[in-house]
């Protein structure tokens, strides 16, 4: 653990901004798993210019981490040293519609797209509405479901880089692949532009409801989970490998494999991040022993152990 009794020591070194700094913030309040130690400092930028000033004038070698809605994130129990950036102001939840082109702040929730599509007689983005979290995170992981991925509808993004420069990047330059991207880690995506298509709201609503029904039938809901834990190996399904390897009933203290979908891990209420990570690593080990296939985590793990 790092010394939070001196929590203001780091803040004194940080640049003056229009956004907000908060010290010793429990990350359990910012992740869907509901676990994790504190962020030493969290920074909530007011807008891109504010973030740019921070990036240009921050202390050299300051540890930085950017989070979105926390839906695909496991923060370890020791917390996160340095500064955690979260795009959570009104500016980062804005949306503009120009015909079939939708530009959104990276802090907007995926689920908020539903109303935008229906109000503007648009479709083609229904799959994104089904993905938990914020739109910015959908880019980093090239999130997808129901036969579509983010890269299929993305036109461009706006980025603030480590030097504080603000610029647009076409989708093709982000090199988005299956549940991954290959752009620099120091790029912070602050907004994204999506290509929708004209569609009768009744049809859009029908598709959205069908997606919801499928999720409710096949995935856990109203539980503390981070969605699919492992990526599907090429040509295979992670859940089938997990089940085949006898891992469908595994439990580690307050962490367990979902009874509804064994590629989902659940915090039953008193799990620690260590419990969840240990459960996941146990699955990786057993699947490797049984099938010779190494599962790759889809959930992002950050922070230090306690």
179 is catalytic: yes
């950017």: which residue's tokens? 66
Distance set, CA 55 to CA 85, 158, 169, 282 (Å)? 11, 15, 19, 39
228, 245, 277, 286: which is the annotated catalytic residue?
228
- Cα Dmax for the chain: 57
109, 179, 224, 286: which is the annotated catalytic residue?
179
28 is catalytic: no
Neighbour count for residue 18 (Cβ, 10 Å): 13
40, 149, 277, 298: which is the annotated catalytic residue?
298
> What is the spatial distance between Cα 140 and Cα 150, in angstroms, rounded to a whole number?
10
Q: 301 with 277: CB under 8 angstroms?
A: yes
**One-letter-per-residue 3-state SS of the chain:** CCCHHHHHHHHCCCCCCCCEEEEEEEHHHCCCCCCCCEEEEEEECCCHHHHHHHHHHCCCCCCEEEECCCCCEEECCCCEEEEEEECCCHHHHCEEEECCEEEEECCCEHHHHHHHHHHCCEECCHHHHCCCCEHHHHHHCCCEECCEEHHHCEEEEEEECCCCCEEEEEHHHHCCECCECCCCCCCEEEEEEEECEECCHHHHHHHHHHHHHHHHHHCCCCCEEEEECECCCCCCCHHHHHHHCCCCCCEECCEEECCCCCCEEEECCCCCHHHHHHHHHHHHHHHHHHHCCCCCECCEEECCCC
Give me the active site residues, please: 179, 228, 298
């Amino acid at each position: 653990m790092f010394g939070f009794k001196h929590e203001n020591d780091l803040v004194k070194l940080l640049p003056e901004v229009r956004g907000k700094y908060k010290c010793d913030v429990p990350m359990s309040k910012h992740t869907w798993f509901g676990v994790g130690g504190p962020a030493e400092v969290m920074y909530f930028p007011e807008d891109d210019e504010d973030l740019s000033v921070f990036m240009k004038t921050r202390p050299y070698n300051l540890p930085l981490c950017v989070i979105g809605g926390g839906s695909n994130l496991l923060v370890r129990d020791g917390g996160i040293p340095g500064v955690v950036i979260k795009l959570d102001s009104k500016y980062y939840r804005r949306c503009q519609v120009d015909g079939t082109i939708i530009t959104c702040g990276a802090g907007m929730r995926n689920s908020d797209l539903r109303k935008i599509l229906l109000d503007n007689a648009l479709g083609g983005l229904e799959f994104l509405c089904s993905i938990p979290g914020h739109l910015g995170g959908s880019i980093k992981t090239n999130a997808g479901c129901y036969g579509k991925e983010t890269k299929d509808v993305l036109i461009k993004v706006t980025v603030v880089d480590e030097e504080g420069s603000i610029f647009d990047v076409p989708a093709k330059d982000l090199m988005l692949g299956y549940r991954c991207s290959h752009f620099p880690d120091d790029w912070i995506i602050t907004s994204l532009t999506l290509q929708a298509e004209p569609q009768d709201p009744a049809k859009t609503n029908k598709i959205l409801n069908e997606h919801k029904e499928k999720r409710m039938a096949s995935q856990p809901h109203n539980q503390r989970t981070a969605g699919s834990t492992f990526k599907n190996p090429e040509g295979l399904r992670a859940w089938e490998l997990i089940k085949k390897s006898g891992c469908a009933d595994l439990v580690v203290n307050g962490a367990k494999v979902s009874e509804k979908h064994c590629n989902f891990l659940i915090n039953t209420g008193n799990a620690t991040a260590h419990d969840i990570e240990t459960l996941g690593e146990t699955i990786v080990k057993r699947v490797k022993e049984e099938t010779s296939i190494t599962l790759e985590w889809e959930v992002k793990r950050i922070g230090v152990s306690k």
